[in-house]
Amino acid sequence: MQKYLPHTEQEIKAMLERIQASSLDDLFSAIPKSLQLKQSYQIPEAMDDLTLTNHMHKLAQKNKELIIFRGAGSYDHYTPSAVKALLSRQEFLTSYTPYQPEVAQGTLQYIFEYQSMVCELTQMVVSNASMYDGSTATAEAMFMAHSETRKDHILVSATMHPKTIEVIQTYARYRQLTVVIVPEKNGVTDLAFVKENHSDKMGLIVQNPNYYGIVEDFTGVADMIHEHRGLFIINQEGQSLALVKSAGEWGADIATGELQSLGLPMAFGGAYIGYLATKHQLVRKMPGRICGVTEDVDGRRAFVLTLQAREQHIRRAKANSNICSNQSLNALAVTIYLSLVGKEGFVELAEESMRGAHYLYNELIKTKKFTPVYEQPFFNEFVLKANFDLERFNEELLNDGILGPLVLDGQKALFAVTEKRSQKEIDQLVEKVVAFK
């Protein structure tokens, strides 16, 4: 008898027919051909310790450290060495999930501290114990709006990250919900369209700063959405919360977004951590875990999982989400990072990123090879239009160890600057723009 029971050929055939796929290979058709591994893995025979160490060093030398001027959702921020050191402690690194609160007080404590920090950053009342990433957290916020309003249509701004919009649309499809895209106008959300079309919608989802780096003005939007019982949802990137008006300050009902910039490396795209915070009246609509603090029978402080609205704890049909979980180790990284930099350091780092971005913006304009696209305030990302071949320019930059801007629509470049970029590195990029022919 086999240890695991595989699917029979008939079962595989039936499943493929159900999803209208002709073969198992069709399941991977969305992956670009250039990323599909067709040849053998070329794994060598067993080696002794020294030989294997040398072999791994040679492989590591193939990685190229780049000076990064690209963001669009993943940012090259500095992670203090203390974050990595503490995360690697075995009691953190090997812990799984706090099913037994009485023996998981350390895990529950840092989850509680993480939630408290998220609430302070977003000016919200309650936060859960984190989510997979910013995109899925935003989609879960949509489910909260649907559960609260019982409406089936939601407005989503076109100025959000395209990948986040795709995730929202995918989640909506299988709940029979309809996503209505709000057009952009001069790089920001067209609020006139929102005003004309929000009355029968469950709410509005926006991003601030948006995909183009622009800091949008949402004055009066919350009141407008609330007129017809809709919910206002704002997606915000972590470091921007140091300087940009928070979701709570805008009067939003749900705050969501990505916290990768707070102590997590770019890591080839993940794993990252999403946050989800809301007002008190929506706490029972929130998916995932929420940690609370109380006293035990002896009067000692004790941490507990207060709410656990997920399928492992309640009936599957009653769960707010069946595919959510918290990124506990990453939540710890964020907690340690914020504890280390402190309130003043958090603001100073954000100011450094913003200063660098504005300096680069002005210097690129001076070259006369770039022109502004939007006349809007921005944080640490911005879009400029080039009068030369951006793709070829990026190739030359890559050869010189620089990851250039993200190319949008052929001639538009989306630049990002973090506190890691020195003035010398910025000037080096500008010099290459001037020299490019």
Cα distances from 251 to residues 226, 230, 236, in angstroms, run 10, 12, 14
Distance, CA of 405 to CA of 10 (rounded, Å)? 49
Q: Which residue intervals of the chain bear CATH 3.90.1150.10? A: 67-77+343-435
Secondary structure E strands in 66-115:
67-68
Question: Per residue in 262-314, pLDDT tens?
Answer: 999 999 888 999 999 999 999 989 988 899 999 989 999 999 888 765 555 66
Q: What is residue 210's predicted lDDT score, i.e. its pLDDT?
A: 98
- Residue 370 CA neighbour count, 13 Å, CB half: 25
- pLDDT reported for residue 189: 98
Give the whole-number percent of the chain exceeding pLDDT 70. 94
CATH 3.40.50.300 fits 81-337, yes or no: no
Average pLDDT over residues 184-212: 98
| Comma-separated ranges of CATH 3.40.640.10 domains in the chain | 81-337
Q: Determine the pLDDT at residue 315.
A: 66
422 vs 426: CA distance, rounded Å: 6
**Best CATH choice for the domain 67-77+343-435 from the list 3.40.1710.10, 3.90.190.20, 3.90.1150.10, 3.60.40.10:** 3.90.1150.10
Give the per-residue pLDDT at 412. 98
105-122 and 328-366 are packed helices; what angle lies between their axes, rounded to 10 degrees? 30
154 vs 146: CA distance, rounded Å: 8
Peptide bond into 209 cis (omega under 30): yes
Q: Is the pLDDT of residue 319 over 80?
A: no
- Least confidently predicted of 210-224, 276-290, 347-361, 389-403: 276-290
- Residue partners of 248: CB distance under 8 A and separation at least 6: 122, 123, 124, 255
DSSP reduced 3-state for 206: strand
Residues contacting residue 420 through CB under 8 Å, at least 6 positions apart: 68, 76, 77, 78
DSSP string, 134-166: HHHHHHHHHHHHHHHH---EEEEETTS-HHHHH
Contacts of 244 (CB under 8 A, 6+ apart): 208, 209, 215, 236, 379
Let me know: does 62 contact 70? Beta carbons within 8 Å: no
Straight-line distance from the first to the last Cα atom of the chain, in angstroms, rounded to the nearest whole number: 68
Token duo for residue 365: 């304009």
What sign results for the dihedral spanned by CA atoms 25, 27, 30, 32?
Answer: negative
Tell whether the model's pLDDT for residue 1 goes beyond 70.
no
The predicted-structure confidence for 2-49, as pLDDT tens digits, reads as follows 566 778 889 999 999 999 999 998 998 888 888 888 788 888 889 999
Q: Which residue has the higher pLDDT, 36 or 146?
A: 146
Q: How far apart are CA 378 and CA 7, in angstroms?
A: 53
CA angle 13, 17, 23 (to 5 degrees): 60
| pLDDT range class, residue 92, cuts 50, 70, 90 | confident
Q: How far is CA 192 from CA 86, 183, 197, in A?
A: 49, 10, 9
- What per-residue confidence (pLDDT) applies to 425? 98
- Residue 105 pairs in a beta bridge with none
Closest among 14, 29, 47, 272 to 163, alpha carbons compared:
272
Task: List the structure tokens of 232.
Answer: 């206002």
- Predicted pLDDT at 357: 98
pLDDT tier for residue 252 given thresholds of 50, 70 and 90: very high
Instruction: Give the pLDDT confidence score for residue 289 in this predicted structure.
Output: 85
Round to whole Å and give the CA distance between 261 and 213.
Answer: 15
SS3 content of the chain, % helix, strand, coil (to 5): 40, 20, 40
Across 265-395, the runs of DSSP E, i.e. the strands, are: 274-278, 288-295, 301-309, 370-372, 381-386
**Angle at 327 (CA atoms; ends 321, 329), nearest 5 degrees:** 160
Inter-residue contact 334 to 79 (CB < 8 Å):
no
pLDDT tens digits along 403-420: 999 999 989 999 999 999
Q: What is the pLDDT of residue 41?
A: 83
Q: Report the predicted TM-score, pTM, of the whole model to 2 decimal places.
A: 0.89
φ, ψ dihedrals at 372, nearest 5°: -65, 150
